[in-house]
Structure 1
């Protein structure tokens, strides 16, 4: 068996750097040498953390399929990447079944407790109280990860439940080596995590000292929780001791999750949203994700322009992208929400006809001020610390999975005796229509808090097909920037003929309607910036955007190619 586990050429040193400046420099595409992807013959895993990626690779090497590997990676990341990997959160997964050619969407997004109410995050004056929606027990929705992983393994996996959880148990029980990235994140989040003694005793030493690179972090309570889940299935999480501990810890911290809420949680299968872009089929996540709808909506609008001829990151290309982004994010504020509660006009928003109307609103010469853009008149949010991984196996099965606990380390609350970090996803609801959430995203009545409802998300796990076969599997964390990050990887490859590593490395831009600013990474030339300002754009130099994990099948050679974004330390693409 051959193992290919090297980094894209020219980025090895940068990918290990924790420095934001170095990460920004790594994002510069213009003028650099060709960047090469990782390759493999039989299976490939791209994930935000190397040890978890290797867990997935090993499952593939043992004969497991992409789903087996994906479930194993999800549980491993709960141990090795605690700021985003989780048992106490939720997310979305696309599963492509090579035998049938069908792609399925799995929604295991968190749900609001039964006692949740529309105005639960408003203070006495009727203003949105971010402290309640982000840092208290009330910030937590009922977690969905365990239920989602069981659903997908039962339907599409080939291995036993306990076997795919076993690597995570070992990592939690024996301990993981603290990386520079983990040490830095624990130091940065010390104030939040030490607010709760249950978190402090896990993530800091007995005397309160910080873990340093090279130290061993053991998570004994989490190991026991994983063992219970492995032995009893989801009932071991959603009923009994663990469910009781989660409910008590959350309610003691001011929240509303009950043991009944835990027992009533359900992950669901949904129909993915589909579109086309220059002959490629785009398959992505439907509501309650806004990601797939707006990814396809923006691509449809841009398909009417000669993007390839205009050039990668030229002022003309960026201008058109920004104008299309503004229109889509305005629609997001009005129409997107949980489809079990509101009618989301998916077919209209993703139609080619609707895109024609969008292009009629776009001037090639001038930026339209966001104040003049309103959601379309139709008949009837998300954290930087989300994480994504992509997998293809030798049979052509593929998964694209994005999951999160929202903020880095969620609310900071660990359910006592479980090792489970709780999410603060309730902030992704609209606490008050028209008031932005933590990521500046505006929401309306469609995303108001209701009992049992799933909050709107920007997560955009995506599969791109060519000639009926999987071509690209991709996705990213990045909060409001997730949709536009995934968009640019796809456009870089289709319009600008970049390979998967180059597409992952190129400088990125983002516009989300409000605030009215065009955010750019370093790597966009000063001349381009000046040209955009002349068109009326307000430029904001932003921190690096996203952390894409992408794998693809090369239709000519048959080889699997992949790349982990160099913007964040610790990510890896590994195969065999």
Structure 2
């Protein structure tokens, strides 16, 4: 006898699978005619798509997606962190919004050092003093006020619904819940959110509801940015800091402002490259590396050949050296040589210093101790294109996975640990990658240098590629490789993102390869040129969109390295 219930369930599953074929990640791009949202969580991507279908533009959808990620992706999505939004309109308008966190007013250059000039207990990464003044809400609000179409309330409400009604968690959040359970005495306010009512950890498939976060989001919905930087939320954050020996005050929150800035721009093989200016180092570094590579016939050498890998490595080495030596918050470093660093002439001189079959040596003179620099890979990126062809590339972060892992009691959101992105020991740089150069030293209200690299590639004044990634210092090189994969090696957006990746950052003088996808023969030739090689399991989680103007369609791809990532088109 036929089991009609099972048959009906099977039919529903088939219908769901068919209806979501346009919303899958992998080596085949997702296609859409009217709009596309790509993010690190499928629920957030759906929120963004719904906003587009209601008549919202790319900025509207990006704002709504970002708020949804603050609920569904607490490891990186945030209202307690900061980041960057890059906008390129179909009419050619280009602008950026800088909402990177700031150092508190009470911060000092030596605030993490003991009497021996050593970092105390990793305090620049761990604990309440690692928290920078959050910028996300201010940045999203400013972008909406300048470019948005729908009402602010419409953009925040979906996140409130997700927080109130809950969502099924996956293994990643369940793993964090296990960690919280093991550390519940040290992080009681976090345990109150990420453990069950019986103080046991969540399991995959359990529903996580966040009523305190919903309350904070309602204040943001009703009062805009003021709903975060003043009133009840500001009071809760100030009080929590005071009770736990933190240094962020109501004055810090009241003084925080996001900035609208002109993007940095360059060109690569007849394409326009548009990126974030400092305090993001991504825009400058990507343009500098592409300028160097433009003088080499990469297509002739082939994707991931030993020769191509060598040349990309040498471009990376030089751009990361300049990143360390010159870049920081422009408000504190007004004489940064940005025009020089992004110029073709400068790139030509750097190119002349590259030997075709021999690795350069990263200069480690006067570096005499062994400390390990750290910049977390736990960031998240989203890309959006609307029906008019307006494009948004947005990257934001809490820094480490789940940031400081500290939830503001009564407010329900996690705080960042971004202060660790400042240079912690003034004047001290070593061969292991610790940097102590002046442009990125701690100062009150200064923004820490970032590797976040939201990028848009345009042709004939129209955006064609929208790309970005998490990954700490690897972000810049992940974005570089996706662009090169598409322009030089003519891969589609999905294959360009799925291709294996590698990373070199000047110091330490080591190239890190993903442990799959590179042939042993190629690696042997690469090492024979003098490169030291190590492997890692994964690099980045790129989220990208290609605008196919010829066929009038959008192609989206969510990196399969992101377990919950999704490209959604319609």
Query: Within 2, Cα distance between the matches of 1:47 and 1:87?
Result: 16
Query: Within 2, Cα distance between the matches of 1:409 and 1:318?
Result: 33
Q: Give yes or no for contact 1:175–1:218 (8 Å, CA) kept in 2.
A: yes
Report the equivalent of 2:530. Answer: 536
Report the equivalent of 1:29. Answer: none
In the alignment, which of 88, 100, 103 is matched to residue 112 of structure 1? 103
Query: Within 1, Cα distance between the matches of 2:481 and 2:452?
Result: 15
Q: Using the TM superposition, name which of 177-186 and 513-522 deviates more.
A: 177-186
Secondary structure at 2:260's aligned position in 1?
strand
Report the equivalent of 2:329. Answer: 338
What does 1:339-354 align with in structure 2 at a 5 Å threshold?
339-342=330-333, 343-354=335-346
In the alignment, which of 122, 129, 132 is matched to residue 138 of structure 1? 129
Q: Give yes or no for contact 1:195–1:412 (8 Å, CA) kept in 2.
A: no
Secondary structure at 1:301's aligned position in 2?
helix
Query: Within 2, Cα distance between the matches of 1:274 and 1:192?
Result: 46
Count of residue correspondences: 544
Report the equivalent of 2:43. Answer: 51
Shift of 1:449: 0.4
Secondary structure at 2:351's aligned position in 1?
helix
Report the equivalent of 2:561. Answer: 567
| Alignment partner of 1:205 is 2:196 | yes
Q: Give yes or no for contact 1:55–1:73 (8 Å, CA) kept in 2.
A: yes
5+ unaligned residues in a row in structure 1: which ranges? 12-34, 375-380
Shift of 1:390: 0.1
Report the equivalent of 2:152. Answer: 161
Deviations 1:286-333 (A, max 9, x none): 000001000000010011100111000000000011111111111111
TM-score (norm 1): 0.91
Shift of 1:403: 0.2
| Alignment partner of 1:557 is 2:548 | no
What does 1:398-417 align with in structure 2 at a 5 Å threshold?
398-417=391-410
In the alignment, which of 446, 449, 454 is matched to residue 447 of structure 2? 454
What does 1:309-320 align with in structure 2 at a 5 Å threshold?
309-320=300-311
5+ unaligned residues in a row in structure 2: which ranges? 1-17, 367-373
The 1:210–1:291 alpha-carbon spacing in structure 2 relative to 1, beyond 3 Å, is: same
Deviations 1:99-119 (A, max 9, x none): 3x1110100000111111111
Query: Within 1, Cα distance between the matches of 2:506 and 2:379?
Result: 22
TM-score (norm 2): 0.92
What does 1:129-278 align with in structure 2 at a 5 Å threshold?
129=120, 131-188=122-179, 191=182, 195-278=186-269
The 1:224–1:458 alpha-carbon spacing in structure 2 relative to 1, beyond 3 Å, is: same
Q: Using the TM superposition, name which of 246-255 and 550-559 deviates more.
A: 246-255
Secondary structure at 2:321's aligned position in 1?
helix
Report the equivalent of 2:390. Answer: 397
Report the equivalent of 1:518. Answer: 511
Deviations 1:527-566 (A, max 9, x none): 0110011100111011210000001211210100010011
Query: Within 1, Cα distance between the matches of 2:244 and 2:176?
Result: 24
Deviations 1:500-552 (A, max 9, x none): 00000000011001111111112111001100111001110112100000012
Secondary structure at 1:410's aligned position in 2?
coil
Report the equivalent of 2:8. Answer: none
Shift of 1:123: 1.3
Shift of 1:243: 0.6
Q: Using the TM superposition, name which of 258-267 and 184-193 deviates more.
A: 184-193
The 1:236–1:53 alpha-carbon spacing in structure 2 relative to 1, beyond 3 Å, is: same
The 1:520–1:460 alpha-carbon spacing in structure 2 relative to 1, beyond 3 Å, is: same
Deviations 1:236-274 (A, max 9, x none): 110122112112222333321000110110000011000
Shift of 1:96: 1.6
Q: Give yes or no for contact 1:141–1:424 (8 Å, CA) kept in 2.
A: yes
Q: Give yes or no for contact 1:136–1:253 (8 Å, CA) kept in 2.
A: no
Shift of 1:373: 8.8
Q: Give yes or no for contact 1:312–1:492 (8 Å, CA) kept in 2.
A: yes
Query: Within 2, Cα distance between the matches of 1:221 and 1:170?
Result: 12
Query: Within 1, Cα distance between the matches of 2:341 and 2:184?
Result: 41
Query: Within 2, Cα distance between the matches of 1:368 and 1:38?
Result: 41
Query: Within 1, Cα distance between the matches of 2:556 and 2:295?
Result: 29
Shift of 1:190: 5.2
Largest Rg, 1 or 2: 2
Secondary structure at 1:133's aligned position in 2?
coil
Query: Within 2, Cα distance between the matches of 1:566 and 1:197?
Result: 34
Query: Within 1, Cα distance between the matches of 2:434 and 2:473?
Result: 7
Query: Within 2, Cα distance between the matches of 1:441 and 1:484?
Result: 19
Q: Give yes or no for contact 2:40–2:566 (8 Å, CA) kept in 1.
A: yes
Shift of 1:209: 1.9
Query: Within 1, Cα distance between the matches of 2:183 and 2:231?
Result: 29
Shift of 1:131: 2.5
In the alignment, which of 278, 292, 299 is matched to residue 290 of structure 2? 299
Report the equivalent of 1:442. Answer: 435
Deviations 1:181-230 (A, max 9, x none): 32234335655676221111101123332211111101010000000111
What does 1:321-332 align with in structure 2 at a 5 Å threshold?
321-332=312-323
Report the equivalent of 1:377. Answer: none
Q: Give yes or no for contact 2:180–2:190 (8 Å, CA) kept in 1.
A: no
Report the equivalent of 1:18. Answer: none
The 1:123–1:406 alpha-carbon spacing in structure 2 relative to 1, beyond 3 Å, is: same
Query: Within 2, Cα distance between the matches of 1:189 and 1:480?
Result: 27
Query: Within 2, Cα distance between the matches of 1:414 and 1:69?
Result: 27
Secondary structure at 2:393's aligned position in 1?
strand
| Alignment partner of 1:468 is 2:453 | no
Query: Within 2, Cα distance between the matches of 1:323 and 1:298?
Result: 9
The 1:119–1:564 alpha-carbon spacing in structure 2 relative to 1, beyond 3 Å, is: same
The 1:564–1:242 alpha-carbon spacing in structure 2 relative to 1, beyond 3 Å, is: same
